[in-house]
Chains A and B, each alone.
Chain A
Amino acid sequence: MNEIVDGINQAIQLIVSMNPEVMEITARSLYISLSATLVASLIAIPIGGFIHFKEFGGKRGLITVIQALYALPTVLAGLLIWLLLSRAGPFGFLGLLFTPTGMIIGQIVLIVPLMTGMTLIALSGVSQTKQDTVISLGATSLQTIITIVKEARFAILGGTILGFGRAISEVGAAMMIGGNIRGYTRVLTTAIALETSIGDLPLSIALGIILLLIALLVTGLLFLVQER
Chain B
Amino acid sequence: MIEFEQVVVNFGEKRVLKDVSFSVSDGEIFTFIGPSGSGKTTILRLIDMLERPKSGKILIDGTNVTKIHDREKIRVRRRMSMVFQKPSPLRGTVYSNVAMGLQFRKVSADEISRRVSESLEMVGLGGYEKRKALTLSGGEMQRVAIARAITTKPEVLLLDEPTANLDPGSTETIESMIGGLRDRLGITVILSTHDMVQGQRLADRIAVVIDGRIGQIGTSKEIFYKPMTHAVARMVGVEDILDGVVTENEAGLAAIDVNGVLITACSTASSGTPVTLYMRPEDITIYEKDNIRSSARNKFTGRITEVIPIGPMVRLKVDVGVKLTAVVTQRSFEELGLALEKDTELTFKASAIHVVERKEV
Complex CA gap A135/B100 in Å reads 11
Query: Number of A residues contacting the other chain (C-beta, 8 Å)?
Result: 17
Contact indicator B86/A137 (Cβ below 8 Å): no
Provide the bound-state CA to CA distance between A135 and B74, in Å. Answer: 9
- Interface pairs (5), CB distance under 8 Å: A136-B84, A139-B74, A143-B104, A147-B90, A150-B91
B105 to A, closest residue via Cβ? A138
Contact with B along A130-144 (1 / 0, CB 8 A): 101111111111010
A residues apposed to B, CB below 8 Å: 127, 129-130, 132-141, 143, 147, 150-151
Evaluate contact between B81 and A137: CB separation under 8 angstroms.
yes
Knowing A138-B74, A143-B104 are in contact, say whether A133-B84 is a contact too (CB < 8 A): yes
- List of A residues within 8 angstroms of B111 by Cβ: none
Q: Would you call B91 and A138 a contact (CB within 8 A)?
A: no
CB nearest to B103 among chain A residues: A143
Contact B50 A132 (CB under 8 A): yes
Interface status of B101 (Cβ within 8 A of chain A): yes
The number of inter-chain residue pairs (CB within 8 angstroms) is 53
B interface list, Cβ under 8 A from A: 45, 48, 50, 70, 74, 77-78, 80-82, 84, 86, 88, 90-91, 100-101, 104-105, 145, 148-149, 152, 158
Does A130 contact B152, Cβ atoms closer than 8 Å?
A: no
Q: Which residue of A lies closest to B78 (CB)?
A: A138
* Residue in contact with A135 in the complex, picked from B50, B145, B148, B158, CB distance below 8 Å: B50
Q: How far is the CB of A130 from chain B (nearest CB, A)?
A: 5
- With the chains together, A52 CA to B158 CA distance in Å? 27
Give the residues in chain A near B90, CB-CB below 8 Å: 130, 133-134, 147, 151
Known interface pairs A127-B88, A147-B90, A151-B91. Does A134 touch B100 (Cβ–Cβ under 8 Å)? yes
CA distance A199 to B78 in the complex (A): 71
A37 to chain B, nearest CB (A): 24
Indicate if the CB atoms of A138 and B70 lie closer than 8 Å. no
Question: A127, A136, A143, A151: which contacts B50 (Cβ < 8 A)?
Answer: A136
Assess the A138–B104 pair: CB atoms within 8 A. yes
